[in-house]
Amino acid sequence: MKKVLFATTALIATAGVAAAEVKFGGYGRFGIGYQEDRSTNDNVSDTILISRFRLNIDANVETDGGVEFSARVRMQADENASTGEAGSANLSGARFSVIYGGLRVDAGNVSGAFDNLANYYGNEPGLESFIGQYSGVDYDFLTFSSTGAGANAVFFQYAVGDFAFGASYDENTTNNGGTALGGTDQWDISATYNFNNFTAALAYGQTTGGGIEKSTLTVLTLGAEFGNFSGTIFVADDDVNVDAENGTAYGLSAAYNLGAATTLTFAYGDGSADNDTRQYGIGAIYDLGGGASLRGGIGDTKVGDADSTIRADFGARFDF
């Protein structure tokens, strides 16, 4: 009887394992990074060893009716850019998903409508992707946290044909630094349309409550691909609680495949507000095959009337 019971238990456990799927994926990168006036500490060099290891752990099952349930956590280790030493390794909060056909619902540590918006990030030069067309945006929107618990929020997306619609909601919002804003609600909506070689996307979001004035962000992006060339255009209007950061943000990015496994990248971003961040830079990617590449970039960053600073990096990245 015991043997039958043990065999039955083992069969049920095996069936459960067979029905589930666990995947591991991510990337590693390492190299050297230069940042002008990196630290006021004389013992920290402007040039340091930079690194990141990111491992996504995804588990999913699919019902007989075709509904997929999945969850993701992320392990990540980076250097400490301010000290030049090794940083800490962290485990992220969990994101849970339900997917059926063109419908997707995420809960927990999620990316919001802006973070998922087509062409928001465009082409970002450098091994560390340190230059972006979005640099003039000062609004804190909902993002997936790679190194912390993240927000306990909801994201919804529905795709049909060439259209996709998204929305997210976060109660008791935290900003990108993980600081709780307290009693605030944040929601975002988006729409994306693909036509020919183009992708157009529009998103709007706002944060209210917590004893602060309402802040909003509107973003319009346009991306195109023609043979070896791809490019994006970015325009945004942000209304935040700092007058010197209110205004229009704008930027563009491009990538061109030269052949021989070499791709050049470029990005420029700025804003009309007094305290907006202006960035521009170029980069290059050399594909080594097998998911490995050599990457590097150089760029300039300037915040408001402050002096501009030069940043550059070079190293290797491998995706797995």
* Residue 9 dihedral angles phi and psi, to the nearest 5°: -60, -45
Q: Which amino acid is at 32?
A: I
CA distance 64 to 257: 44
CA distance 300 to 320: 31
pLDDT digits (tens, 9 = 90+) for 66-100: 999 999 999 999 999 888 888 889 999 999 999 99
Exposure string over 5-20, b if 16+ CB within 10 A, otherwise e: eeeeeeeeeeeeeeee
Contact 45, 36 (CB under 8 A): no
DSSP 150: -
DSSP 93: P
pLDDT digits (tens, 9 = 90+) for 278-298: 999 999 999 999 999 999 999
List the alpha helices (DSSP H) in 96-180: none
DSSP 198: E
Contact 136, 302 (CB under 8 A): no
pLDDT digits (tens, 9 = 90+) for 213-255: 899 999 999 999 999 999 999 999 999 989 999 999 999 999 9
Q: Which residue ranges make up each domain of the chain?
A: 21-319
Amino acid 81: pLDDT: 86
Q: Which of 251, 255, 257 is nearest to 279 (CA)?
A: 251
Neighbours of 258 (CB within 10 A): 11
Q: Which of 89, 93, 144, 83 is nearest to 115 (CA)?
A: 144
* CA diameter of the chain: 81
Q: Does domain 21-319 have CATH number 3.10.180.10?
A: no
Contact 138, 131 (CB under 8 A): no
Q: Looking at the DSSP assignment, which residues form a beta bridge with residue 119?
A: none
Q: What is the mean pLDDT of the chain?
A: 90
Amino acid 9: pLDDT: 36
